Amino acid sequence: MNASKLEIFQFPCRQDNYGVILHDGDSGITISIDAPEFEAVDDVLESRNLKLTHILTTHHHMDHVEANEALKSKYGCRIIGPADEADKIPGIDKSHGHGDSFEIGGHRIEVIGAPGHTLGQVNYYFADQGVVFCADALFALGCGRIFEGTPEMMFTALNRLAALPNDTLVYAGHEYTLANAKFALSVDPENAELVERAKEIELLRDNGKPTLPTTIDLEKRTNPFLRASDAKIRALLAMDDAADVEVFTEIRARKDRF
């Protein structure tokens, strides 16, 4: 196994997306997590003199796959994506589903099925780096909108992510954190750590800085979508005796109306 540290470059693109490029100087591999926009991704590659070898696609939405074909024709990179929506991923070469793992440049990548936002979304966990790419499943202080799946699916997906080691670095597909923080405070107003975090987020955004990556631990302590079992949140929702998945479903419904 190649335990060398991957360099990670996160950059904003489109309206509120993040692109991420990973590079391993030893093996020479360069991976783009999704391909939101050709120019933005290509600028990062060109400015660092990197040749793109792989794209790891999380789901079929346009803001995650738009540049697949343009990047593939420029770099001849290999595109790996979700098995359950492979037919919707432009240029896909190989697909994987939940529980699969594969190797790139000696780094093992575990595939975590994360349906809900779309039916086939996958997340990629780089175990030897302690990093996970959650796209539109888990956000800082939020979770993805449930477009194609069910709340039960999304709840299962989030539990899989929450089960990763606490210090796992979490990269997500969008900078939604400020709006998410406002909602989080509406259901978990007495969470002192959340109150503090919301202030820090405001400061970061005022200075044009990213609020990502986050960590699994920080999300478990402050993200209401990972806190369905919390007594205070349940009391506020008058759902003291409900199942966790029901509490989660109610929180998601409230966010949709917020």
CB of 66 to Fe ion, least distance (A): 11
Pick the closer one to Zn ion by CB: 61 or 227. 61
Q: Are the CB atoms for 126 and 6 separated by under 8 Å?
A: yes
Q: Shortest approach of Zn ion to residue 64 CB, angstroms? A: 6
Element (H, E) at 219: helix 216-222
**Which of 61, 98, 174, 255 is the binder for Zn ion (CB under 5 A)?**
61
CA 219, distance to chain mean position in Å, is 12
> Is residue 173 a contact residue for Fe ion (CB under 5 A)?
yes
φ, ψ (nearest 5 deg) of residue 233: -65, -45
Kindly identify the residues of this chain, within the stretch 133-152, that bind Zn ion according to CB under 5 A. Answer: 136
Q: Which residues within the stretch 176-205 sit at the binding site for Zn ion (CB under 5 A)?
A: none
Please choose, out of 42-50, 133-141, 190-198, 230-238, the segment that lies near Fe ion by the rule CB under 5 A.
Answer: 133-141
Q: Is 19 in the site for Fe ion (CB under 5 A)?
A: no
Sheet harboring 78-82: ordered strands across?
A: 7-13, 17-23, 30-33, 54-56, 78-82, 94-96
- Nearest CA among 225, 205, 169 for reference residue 16: 205
From the list 35-43, 53-61, 153-161, 203-211, the region that binds Zn ion by CB under 5 A is 53-61
- Residues 6 or more apart whose Cβ sits within 8 Å of residue 34: 19, 20, 55, 56, 57, 58, 64, 65, 135, 173
- What angle is formed at CA 3 by the lines to CA 166 and CA 162, rounded to 5 degrees? 20
Surface-to-core class of residue 221, CB atoms within 10 Å of its CB (0-12 exposed, 13-18 middle, 19+ buried): middle
Name the minimum Å distance from CB 48 to Zn ion.
Answer: 27
Site size toward Fe ion, by CB under 5 A: 3
The SS3 call for residue 27 is coil
Cis, peptide link before residue 12, omega less than 30° from 0: no
**Shortest reach from residue 136's CB to Fe ion, in Å:** 5
Q: How far is the CB of 144 from Fe ion (least distance, A)?
A: 8
Q: Which of residues 58-117 bind Fe ion (CB under 5 A)?
A: 63
Residue among 136 and 175 whose Cβ is closer to Fe ion: 136
| CA–CA dist 8, 31 (Å, integer) | 10
227 touching Zn ion, by CB under 5 A: no
Binding mask 7-46 for Zn ion (x = CB under 5 A): ----------------------------------------
- Any contact of residue 136 with Fe ion (CB under 5 A)? yes
* Interface with Fe ion (CB under 5 A): 63, 136, 173
* Interface with Zn ion (CB under 5 A): 61, 136
